[in-house]
């Protein structure tokens, strides 16, 4: 055997020889590019990565306790107790009059379901040390998918739409939008929800010989809908129900709160019953700035607001299910919302999109593809000036092929395209281009030496540089 020949048992040489002397290279190139294009279209796109950081909020109710009592008797012992759980990294707390909120954050990568079970088990196993003033506690997990990907803001165009009507439109709208596939947690913020309020008159209560506890008991006992039995007659089964729930403020006012001496005392006799907006705890408003003409309004916005104008606001927040495509969910929700314009959503209500993570995620992915093309052209130009045009084409093919295989693996293993994965792909571009340049440059050098036939020179060059390059990446 010639001393210059490459050993036949070299794995690197065997792979290079196989792809060089057959059509596997062209076939692999076409398959990888097609698979990458399909993966780019099918892989879910979203703004935030699916990083598992289990976070639990523990809500504790202690009616009548001051903030100082809540902190000393509930919050501090609970913090000590929850820190004992294996896998907990941080514990935060907020103490309010009558309420405590303790947040437990586990280490990154801890299983969410197991963390939730461990938190609940720890509380259940230590109920003997819970102060007697605690009436209830609740454990709620917090996930990255609870962050809404879409915010739809409703504001009135004129004074005919008040805060309660605006909230009612938002409540009906969110019920329709929840029917869209892969819509997750959703809620409404702002405006004034409808509520039947009861304002007792102390003088009339005293005259009737009843107290607030009697009023409360009467409302609870009458606002029921129960199946109390069933009977069969004429081959028909009749179900007997007690109820139904209150349907109007008039029914609430007709509730009997006391009776005696042949006289019934109704709630309307001792209290004022008002069907209207709930008591205002906070105000939500939207202000329009100089860029009001560029806002994303759905349907026919009619009269656009003026810069500096403020209006009451009701916001519909839409989150997606875990692993769903934020782009597709946002597009379906917006399409359904536009269909409801003019029917459910009246013309005198302005509907604007104040957040759309689906649009931004799609824009970032498309921007990556554009920059990838720019990077490939830059590589071709720079390498053509230094090595040659054909050499630059060979190196530039490594970039889309590798990215295509990466996107295919992301799709297979259930990952999504988000700002973290996009940053990783961009960061790896320099490392990705470096290895093919080293290979092509060494092959180019062996060709110029003309000491071996072309195929043998190719195998010698790759075998000379590939093992050290792999070891360098493994360090």
Tens digits of residue pLDDT in 159-173: 778 888 899 999 999
Q: What is the largest CA-CA distance in the chain?
A: 123
- Residue-level length of the chain: 475
C-alpha 320/C-alpha 324 separation (Å) is 7
Of the candidates 212, 210, 190, the residue with the CA atom closest to the CA atom of residue 200: 212
CB atoms within 10 A of CB 213: 8
Which comes out higher in pLDDT, residue 19 or 325?
325
Note if the bond before 407 is cis, omega within 30 degrees: no
CB atoms within 10 A of CB 273: 19
Cβ-defined contacts of 93-97 (< 8 Å, 24+): 95/67, 95/68, 95/70, 95/71, 96/67, 96/70, 97/65, 97/66, 97/67, 97/70
Contacts of 47 (CB under 8 A, 6+ apart): 149, 326, 357, 360, 361, 418, 419
Q: What are phi and psi of 281, to 5 degrees?
A: -100, -30
Most confident of 51-60, 394-403, 426-435: 51-60
Contacts of 73 (CB under 8 A, 6+ apart): 62, 65, 131, 133
Is the pLDDT at 261 greater than 70? The verdict is no
Q: What are phi and psi of 114, to 5 degrees?
A: -65, -40
Mean pLDDT across the chain: 84
C-alpha 166/C-alpha 171 separation (Å) is 9
Tokens of 97: 């009059």
Would you place residue 260 in the very low, low, confident or very high pLDDT band (cuts 50, 70, 90)? low
- Mean pLDDT confidence for 184-213: 88
Of the candidates 339, 318, 358, 334, the residue with the CA atom closest to the CA atom of residue 178: 318
Residue with the two structure tokens 């075998």: 463
Pair 105, 89: CB distance under 8 Å: yes
Give the model's pLDDT for residue 10: 66
Pair 80, 48: CB distance under 8 Å: no
Tokens of 154: 């409703």
Give the model's pLDDT for residue 317: 94
Give the model's pLDDT for residue 48: 75
* Angstrom distances, CA of residue 371 to CA of 122, 202, 312, 344, 397: 51, 73, 42, 43, 15
Instruction: Tell me the whole-structure pTM to 2 decimals.
Output: 0.75
Give the model's pLDDT for residue 1: 43
Give the model's pLDDT for residue 79: 92
Is the pLDDT at 6 greater than 50? The verdict is no
CB burial string 422-459: b at 16+ within 10 A, e below: beebeeebeebbebbbbbbbbbbebeeeeebeeeebbb
Pair 62, 131: CB distance under 8 Å: yes
Of the candidates 282, 287, 333, 292, the residue with the CA atom closest to the CA atom of residue 309: 287
* Angstrom distances, CA of residue 111 to CA of 53, 59, 100, 115, 121: 8, 22, 26, 6, 15
For residue 101, what is the DSSP state? E
- Mean pLDDT confidence for 373-390: 78
Pair 319, 326: CB distance under 8 Å: no
C-alpha 314/C-alpha 301 separation (Å) is 16
Q: What are phi and psi of 218, to 5 degrees?
A: -65, -40
Pair 175, 89: CB distance under 8 Å: no
Of the candidates 48, 94, 98, the residue with the CA atom closest to the CA atom of residue 75: 94
Query: Which segment of 81-95, 134-148, 423-437 scores lowest on mean pLDDT?
Result: 423-437
Pair 328, 183: CB distance under 8 Å: no
Residue 153 three-state SS: strand
Would you place residue 3 in the very low, low, confident or very high pLDDT band (cuts 50, 70, 90)? very low
Which comes out higher in pLDDT, residue 7 or 34?
34
Tokens of 52: 């598992």
Is the pLDDT at 5 greater than 70? The verdict is no
Positive or negative CA dihedral for 67, 73, 74, 77?
A: positive
Q: Is residue 245 within a helix (H) or strand (E), and if so which, with residue range?
A: none
Give the model's pLDDT for residue 315: 93
Pair 91, 102: CB distance under 8 Å: yes
DSSP per residue over 27-60, as a string?
HHHHHHHHHHHHHHHHS-B-SS------EEEEEE
């Amino acid at each position: 055997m010639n001393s210059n020949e490459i050993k036949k048992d070299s794995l690197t040489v065997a792979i290079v020889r196989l792809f060089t002397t057959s059509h596997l290279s062209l076939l692999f190139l076409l398959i990888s590019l097609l698979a990458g294009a399909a993966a780019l279209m099918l892989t879910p796109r979203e703004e935030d990565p699916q990083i598992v950081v289990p976070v639990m909020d523990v809500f504790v109710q202690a009616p009548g306790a001051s903030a100082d009592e809540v902190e000393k008797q509930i919050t501090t012992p609970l913090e000590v107790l929850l820190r004992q759980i294996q896998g907990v990294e941080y514990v935060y707390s907020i103490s309010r009059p009558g309420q405590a909120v303790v947040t437990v954050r586990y280490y990154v990568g801890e299983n969410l379901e197991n963390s939730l079970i461990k938190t609940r088990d720890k509380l259940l196993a230590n109920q003997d040390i819970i102060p007697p003033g605690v009436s209830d506690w609740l454990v709620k997990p917090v996930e990255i998918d609870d962050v809404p990907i879409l915010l739809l803001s409703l504001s009135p165009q004129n004074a005919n739409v008040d805060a309660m009507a605006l909230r009612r439109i938002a409540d009906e709208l969110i019920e329709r939008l929840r029917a869209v596939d892969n819509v997750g947690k959703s809620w409404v913020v702002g405006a004034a929800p409808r509520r039947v309020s009861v304002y007792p008159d102390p003088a009339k209560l005293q005259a009737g010989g009843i107290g607030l506890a009697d009023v409360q008991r009467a409302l609870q006992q009458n606002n029921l809908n129960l199946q109390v039995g069933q009977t069969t007659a004429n081959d028909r089964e009749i179900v007997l129900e007690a109820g139904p729930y209150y349907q109007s403020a008039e029914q609430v006012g007709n509730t009997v709160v006391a009776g005696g001496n042949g006289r019934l005392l109704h709630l309307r006799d001792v209290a004022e019953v008002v069907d209207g907006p709930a008591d205002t705890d906070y105000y939500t408003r939207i202000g329009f700035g100089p860029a009001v003409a560029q806002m994303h309004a759905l349907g026919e916005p009619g009269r656009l607001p003026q810069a500096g104008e403020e209006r009451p606001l009701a916001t519909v927040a839409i989150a997606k299910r875990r692993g769903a495509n934020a782009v597709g969910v946002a597009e379906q929700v917006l399409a359904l919302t536009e269909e409801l314009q003019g029917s459910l959503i009246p013309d005198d209500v302005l509907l604007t999109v104040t957040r759309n993570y689906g649009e931004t995620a799609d824009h970032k992915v498309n921007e990556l593809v554009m920059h990838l093309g720019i990077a490939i052209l830059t590589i071709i130009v720079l390498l053509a000036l230094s090595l040659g045009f054909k050499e630059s084409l060979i190196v530039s093919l490594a970039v889309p092929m590798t990215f295509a295989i990466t996107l295919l693996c992301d799709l297979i293993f259930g990952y999504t395209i988000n700002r973290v994965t996009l940053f990783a792909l961009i960061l790896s571009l320099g490392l990705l281009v470096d290895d093919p340049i080293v290979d092509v440059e060494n092959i180019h050098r062996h060709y110029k030496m003309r000491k071996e036939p072309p195929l043998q020179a190719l195998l010698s060059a790759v075998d000379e540089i590939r093992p050290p390059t792999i070891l360098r990446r493994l360090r």
